[in-house]
């Protein structure tokens, strides 16, 4: 062969897309909690509202900062004026909650009736005086966590372009650092700055719980890498400054639109790294960032080894066992890579959507991990077909199936161990410290089995008559 083709042992397949996942509007559930001064307005139908109400469970009762703009027949047939209707609702939200930003979530229905949310937003924004961010997180185009991606990509446009400069403090480059150092003496600030190596500003993107944000920020600080900002921040009013030439890195595998927006529209440089999930991923993530900034990482190998040591009791439960990902939240490749490093084998990684460019480093690490551990590389099945997958599960009899709630109970009743995939989205799984939480989830069915093994109740459905 003359063409220099990149050798890849990974096998990619694409099925019918008949699979179960959450609708991407579910992202409002964690984003409204993350961005404290926001209000999320989902413009859709009863179907969307009923989904949120059921998926969010008890959260719905806590007077959440989100609501449905429920479309009625008059809206669909354009007997009512979209602009006037949205204005009425947004004024009501402003009066009751006074948020710093209203995020409009476009749905399947607004797509089909071609409601021009992007066009209406700037007009209404000017009229009511509250920024409006428009995200099309609909089930026609996206799956589950990709909803966050569409919101963050829209937010990336709202990040300030330049740090506001004051006459007396022209040397202060960054508004955020100034804010953080507000009230401190000059010398202290300088000293704090000197803990960091000299490198261009780095902005991280991806919504994580605050403790995880602190944790990852400190991990980088240990290497002298300073995080200038985080998209999203705790408050909309604190969105980071993003100037041309800044560096950015993603913390989650489903943020490809946000990455693209930051590169193309905000002219930043993307650091393509594996994601900081599991100690192996976290180390690779930090190493990659350091290498881009020409920093020699310190003490990472020992840190990783120590974490692995502390996980040994959990790893014993899954070593040599097999795992099957049905695929619904795009975390699958990173989780599979980590579990293979823990000694598991993986037959299939189902995934809703595979961005081979954004996930390149993660895929490479997966391949390398398989080689290092001496296990066959899994097949990556994009847009899986749940029915076919269940036939393959029956045939391969994996020790653990990571799947959505629609299939979990029926599989358990047939003696197949499952772990509900959505929990990985809501649990804290990033960084060195949280590796234990991932295994806490993944080993739970094994621990349950150990507790109940004496009973001999595994298959709890009557054998179906063969036709």
Partner 1 sequence: MKLAYWMYAGPAHIGTLRIASSFKNVHAIMHAPLGDDYFNVMRSMLERERNFTPVTASVVDRNVLARGSQEKVVNNITRKDQEEHPDLIVLTPTCTSSILQEDLQNFVSRAQMDTQGDVLLADVNHYRYNELQAADRTLHQIVKYYIEKAGKKGELITEKTEQPSVNIIGISTLGFHNQHDCTELKRLMADLGITVNEVLPDGASVHNLKNLTRAWFNLVPYRELGLMTAKYLESEFAIPYVDISPLGVVETARCIRKIQQIINDQGKTVDYEEYINNQTLYVSQAAWFSRSIDCQNLTGKKAVVFGDNTHAAAITKILAREMGIQVVLAGTYCKYDADWFREQVSEYCDEVLISDDNAEIANAIAKHEPAAIFGTQMERHVGKRLDIPCGVIAAPIHIQNFPIGYKPFMGYEGTNQIADLVYNSFTLGMEDHLLEIFGGHDTKEVITKGISADSDLNWDKEAKAELAKVPGFVRGKVKRNTEKFARDRNFSEITLEVMYAAKESVGA
In whole angstroms, give the CA distance from residue 309 to residue 215: 20
How far apart (Å, rounded) are the C-alpha atoms in residues 319 and 339?
A: 9
Among the listed residues 36, 85, 364, 437, the single contact to partner 1 using CB under 8 A = 85
d(CA 201, CA 248): 8
| Cα Rg of the chain, angstroms | 24
Binding to partner 1 in span 359-398, by CB under 8 A: 387, 390
Give me the 107-146 binding string for partner 1, x by CB under 8 A, dash otherwise.
Answer: -xx-xxx------------------------xxxxxxx--
Closest distance of CB 75 from partner 1, Å? 6
Q: How many whole angstroms separate alpha carbon 128 and alpha carbon 86?
A: 11
Q: How many residues bind partner 1 (CB under 8 A)?
A: 64
Residue 213 C-beta: closest distance to partner 1, Å:
28
Report, in Å, the least distance between residue 325 CB and partner 1.
18
How far, in whole angstroms, is CA 300 from its chain's centroid? 25
Q: How far is the CB of 88 from partner 1 (least distance, A)?
A: 8
Using rule CB under 8 A, residue 406 touches partner 1: yes
Q: What residues are paired with 380 via a beta bridge?
A: 12, 349
Of the candidate spans 89-97, 249-257, 374-382, 423-431, the one that interacts with partner 1 by CB under 8 A turns out to be 89-97
Question: Given candidates 93, 204, 208, 242, which one binds partner 1 under the rule CB under 8 A?
Answer: 93
Spatial neighbors of 53 by CB under 8 A, at least 6 apart, are 60
60 scored as a contact of partner 1 (CB under 8 A): yes
DSSP assigned state of 13: E
Joined together, the tokens standing for residue 286 give 């930090």
Burial code (b: 16+ CB inside 10 Å, e: under 16) for 34-73 equals: bbeebbbbbbbbeebbebbeebbeeeeeeebbbbbbebee
22 binds partner 1 (CB under 8 A): yes
> Binding of partner 1 at residue 50 (CB under 8 A)?
yes
Residue 80 interacts with partner 1 (CB under 8 A)? yes
- CA–CA separation, 311 vs 93, rounded Å? 47
The yes or no reply on residue 98 touching partner 1 (CB under 8 A) is no
Q: Which residues of this chain interact with partner 1, rule CB under 8 A?
A: 17-18, 20-25, 43, 45-47, 49-51, 53-55, 57, 60-61, 64, 67-73, 75-76, 80, 85-86, 88-89, 92-93, 96, 108-109, 111-113, 138-144, 387, 390, 404-410, 413, 460-461, 467
């Amino acid at each position: 062969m003359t063409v220099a083709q990149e050798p890849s042992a990974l096998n990619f397949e694409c099925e019918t897309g008949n699979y179960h996942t959450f609708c991407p509007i579910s992202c409002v559930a964690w984003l409204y909690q993350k961005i404290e001064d926001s209000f999320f307005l989902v413009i859709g139908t009863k179907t969307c509202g009923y989904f949120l109400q059921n998926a969010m469970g008890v959260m719905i009762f806590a007077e959440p900062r989100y609501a449905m703009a429920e479309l009625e027949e008059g809206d669909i047939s354009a007997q009512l004026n979209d602009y006037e209707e949205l204005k009425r609702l947004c004024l009501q939200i402003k009066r009751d909650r006074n948020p710093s930003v209203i995020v409009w979530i476009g749905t399947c229905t607004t797509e089909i009736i071609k409601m021009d949310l992007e066009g209406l937003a700037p007009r209404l924004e000017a009229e009511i005086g509250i920024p409006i961010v428009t995200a099309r997180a609909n089930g026609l185009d996206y799956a589950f966590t990709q909803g966050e991606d569409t919101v963050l990509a829209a937010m990336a446009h709202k990040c300030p372009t330049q740090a506001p400069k004051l006459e007396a403090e022209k040397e202060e480059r960054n508004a955020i650092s100034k804010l953080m150092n507000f009230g401190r003496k000059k010398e202290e600030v300088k000293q704090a700055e000197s803990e960091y190596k000299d490198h261009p500003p780095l902005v991280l993107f991806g919504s994580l719980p605050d403790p995880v944000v602190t944790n990852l920020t400190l991990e980088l600080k240990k290497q002298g890498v300073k995080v200038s900002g985080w998209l999203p921040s705790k408050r909309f009013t604190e969105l980071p400054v993003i100037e041309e030439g800044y560096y950015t890195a993603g913390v989650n595998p489903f943020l490809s639109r946000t990455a693209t927006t930051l590169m193309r529209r905000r002219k930043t440089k993307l650091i393509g790294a594996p994601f900081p999930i599991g100690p192996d991923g976290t180390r690779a993530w930090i190493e990659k960032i350091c290498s881009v900034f020409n920093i020699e990482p310190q003490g990472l190998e020992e840190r990783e080894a120590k974490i692995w040591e502390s996980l040994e009791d959990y790893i014993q439960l899954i070593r040599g066992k097999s795992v099957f990902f049905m695929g619904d939240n795009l975390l699958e490749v990173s989780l599979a890579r980590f579990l293979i490093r823990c000694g598991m084998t993986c037959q299939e990684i189902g995934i809703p959507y595979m961005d081979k460019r954004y996930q390149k480093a993660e895929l490479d690490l997966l391949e390398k991990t398989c080689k290092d551990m001496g296990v066959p590389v899994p097949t990556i099945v994009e847009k899986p077909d749940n029915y076919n997958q269940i036939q393959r599960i029956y045939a391969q009899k994996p020790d653990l199936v990571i799947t959505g709630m629609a299939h979990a109970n029926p599989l358990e009743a047939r003696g197949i161990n499952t772990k509900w995939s959505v929990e990985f989205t809501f649990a804290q799984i990033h960084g060195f410290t949280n590796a234990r939480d991932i295994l806490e989830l993944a080993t739970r069915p094994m621990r349950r089995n150990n507790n109940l093994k004496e009973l001999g109740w595994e298959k709890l459905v009557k054998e179906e008559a063969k036709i």
